[in-house]
Amino acid sequence: MKTSFKIYKTIGLIGICIATLTACTDDLNITPNDDQTTLSADLFKNESAYKQVLAGIYANLALTGTDGAGSSNLKNIDAGTSQFGRVLLYVQTLSADEMIWSYENDPGTREIQRNLWTAQNPLLLGMFSRAHLSIALANNFLRETTDAKLDSRNVSAAVRNEMPAYRAEARLMRAMAYYYMMDIFGKANFTTEDDALNSQPQAYDRAQLFDYIETELKAIDTDLIASRQNQYGRADKSVAYMILAKMYLNSEVYINENHYADCLSYCEKIISGGYTLATNYLHNFMADNNTNSAINEIIFPIVSDGLTTQNYGPTTVMINGEVGSIEVNGTALGVSAGGWGGALRVRKQLANLFGPAFANDTRNTIISSGRSIEITDISDRDSGYILRKYSNAKSTGGYGVDQTFVDTDFPLFRLADVYLMYAEAHLRGGGGSLSTAVGYVNALRNRANNTNTITSGELTLDFILDERGRELHWEAHRRQDLIRYGKFTGGNYNWAWKGNGSNGISLPAHFKVYPIPTASMAANPNLTQNAGY
């Protein structure tokens, strides 16, 4: 069992009980299951509860309920369609040119990977609801930690000294939830701790969300714990900087404004925070990535533990899904030999990024032997290349504690992404240094044991998009990247099964955002549907 993040392991399950608080979720029209309700008045009699409730906000990124991997604390929403990291992987990766899911009877997956989604898709409802539950949990924590509430409970000086950082973390997690809502849906129900409970939420659009997130993240900077000084798995200044950098890199998509200089500036802040690349690329995706050299690279993970936080999250899905139907290679990955029998495969566009020059590149974990690169029938698990990027194995030998639920944390943000964002922001006119940008790209290639380093003349925007695919595939970035490059919708770049064509067809422009789930609009009349749906 992992021990590096005791918030998750010792009280994260207690903290997630807060997700059943009707009081903290009514303000966002979320209907929780309430069979394990914990009342705030009683809960906070114990001063350790403040850290427990903060843990609950983090736990909502990994867990779906309190009664095991299949339980859901969102009423009428299945755990398999609402685990934050898993659904984020689906909407950002499965919808693009990197991944195919074989079992199209699984709710919502066929429509996502064929770009046929509608407002009734259960995965979109799960994403919308889970993100809003993060917001509701943060709002509840902030309501319960005001000076007035702390005074009324005679909270000790020791706990009060921790409170500014705790509150800043809660605000950061709330801002991150709004960031994903802005990116994925372009809208959100908007509330803060200052809004009255049971009031109808406002509906914020992208411009309003962008302004709020930017203002909020800058406001909490002083109170956030310095980069790399917080407990593993908890957020610090660099997580806020990462969200800002990503917002600024995509600001022309979000608000039609150029913020590349701001993006580059925040990349520099992160890089100066003491992070270094893992010595081995694959350390980032192993069962001990909380203790091996990846701990120096991962800026923020979604924590996974095969014993105490069992869930069908992104790393459990990918590692079991990577096991080939022909190869039966699960043992080497630290799961059962057959895994999930060929659940996941690689679209040929990702495979084609790894040509002969990448034969020995450690980022190239594609298995092609005996397989066709083409997937003409999605249900044929023997076609299409497979991947072995993620594993439940440890860098020091041995495996995670369970052969289904893995110990591998999902690297939501890591330094390699920052290096590539710096290079792209520079090329888009954000300032900085060309030699520095080239150096960052070559650092990634050197780390991958790839001797094909580049010169300044080879650093182009198209090169960066391809290099992002090679470095960051299956890490929930690709849809966002393709939209920023103008290649997600339209027909100037087609991939296998885009728009439900085996060779890909054009997508309409309104597919740059997902539809607002029908059930979410029914709960809040202030929400309106995105154009085109």
Give pLDDT tens digits for 234-267.
Answer: 999 999 999 999 999 999 999 999 999 999 999 9
Cβ-count burial 442-478 (b if 16+ within 10 Å, e if not): bbbbebbebeeeeeeeebeeeebbebbbbbbbbbbbb
- Specify the pLDDT at position 130: 94
End-to-end CA distance of the chain: 46
* Band of residue 19 on the pLDDT scale cut at 50, 70, 90: very low
Structure tokens at 61: 């990124």
Spatial CA neighbour of 329 closest among 279, 377, 367, 383: 367
Question: Rounded mean pLDDT of the chain?
Answer: 92
Nearest to 107 by CA among 89, 120, 93: 120
Q: How far apart are the C-alpha atoms of 183 and 484, rounded to whole Å?
A: 11
Report the relative pairing of strands 202-205 and 187-190 from DSSP bridges.
antiparallel
Q: Mean pLDDT, to the nearest integer, of 185-192?
A: 97
- pLDDT at site 487: 98
What single DSSP character describes residue 299?
E
pLDDT, residue 496, reads 98
Residue 75 has pLDDT above 60, yes or no: yes
- pLDDT computed for residue 363 by the predictor: 98
pLDDT band at residue 79 under the 50/70/90 scheme: low
- Cα–Cα dist 532/508, whole Å: 9
Query: What is the model's pLDDT at position 77?
Result: 77
pLDDT the model gives residue 308: 85
**H-type alpha helices, 200-339:** 206-219, 237-249, 251-255, 260-271, 314-321, 330-333
Most confident of 43-52, 308-317, 395-404: 395-404
**How large a percentage of the chain has pLDDT more than 90?**
86
Among 93-107, 195-209, 323-337, the least confident range? 195-209
Q: Give the confidence band of 214 by pLDDT, cuts at 50, 70, 90.
A: very high
- What pLDDT is attached to residue 491? 97
User: Among 529, 530, 515, 519, which residue's Cα sits nearest to residue 28?
Assistant: 519
What's the rounded Cα separation, in Å, for the pair 165 and 239?
Answer: 14
Query: Token pair of 285, please?
Result: 């995706």
What torsion do the CA atoms of 438, 218, 183, 69 make, to the nearest 10 degrees?
A: 100
**Contact between 338 and 347 (Cβ < 8 Å):** no
Pair 47, 61: CB distance under 8 Å: no
**What is the per-residue pLDDT across 422-476, written as a single tens digit (0 to 9) for each?**
999 999 999 999 999 999 999 999 999 999 999 999 999 999 999 999 999 999 9
Angle (CA) 128-132-138 rounded to 5° is 160
Angle among Cα 306, 308, 312 to the nearest 5 degrees reads 50
Run of H or E residues at 172: helix 157-184
CA–CA gap between residue 55 and residue 11 (Å, rounded): 7
Res. 21 pLDDT band, cuts 50 70 90: very low
216 vs 210: CA distance, rounded Å: 10
Whole-angstrom Cα distance, residue 440 to residue 493?
A: 27
Residues 346 and 98 sit within 8 Å (Cβ to Cβ)? yes
Is residue 397 scored above 50 in pLDDT? Answer: yes
| β-strand partners of 385 | 346
Q: Is pLDDT at 88 greater than 90 in this prediction?
A: yes
| Residue 141: partners with Cβ closer than 8 Å, 6 or more residues away | 53, 54, 57, 166, 167, 170
Residue % of the chain over a pLDDT of 70: 92
Summarize the confidence of residues 399-407 as an average pLDDT. 96
Q: What is the pLDDT of residue 213?
A: 98
Distances (CA, A) of 440 to 186, 433, 450: 32, 11, 14
Q: What is the pLDDT of residue 22?
A: 37
Any residues with CB less than 8 A from the CB of 115 and at least 6 apart, and which?
Answer: 95, 498, 499, 500, 507, 511
Q: What is the pLDDT confidence band of residue 309, given thresholds at 50, 70 and 90?
A: confident
pLDDT digits (tens, 9 = 90+) for 333-356: 999 999 999 999 999 999 999 999
The per-residue pLDDT for 39 is 53
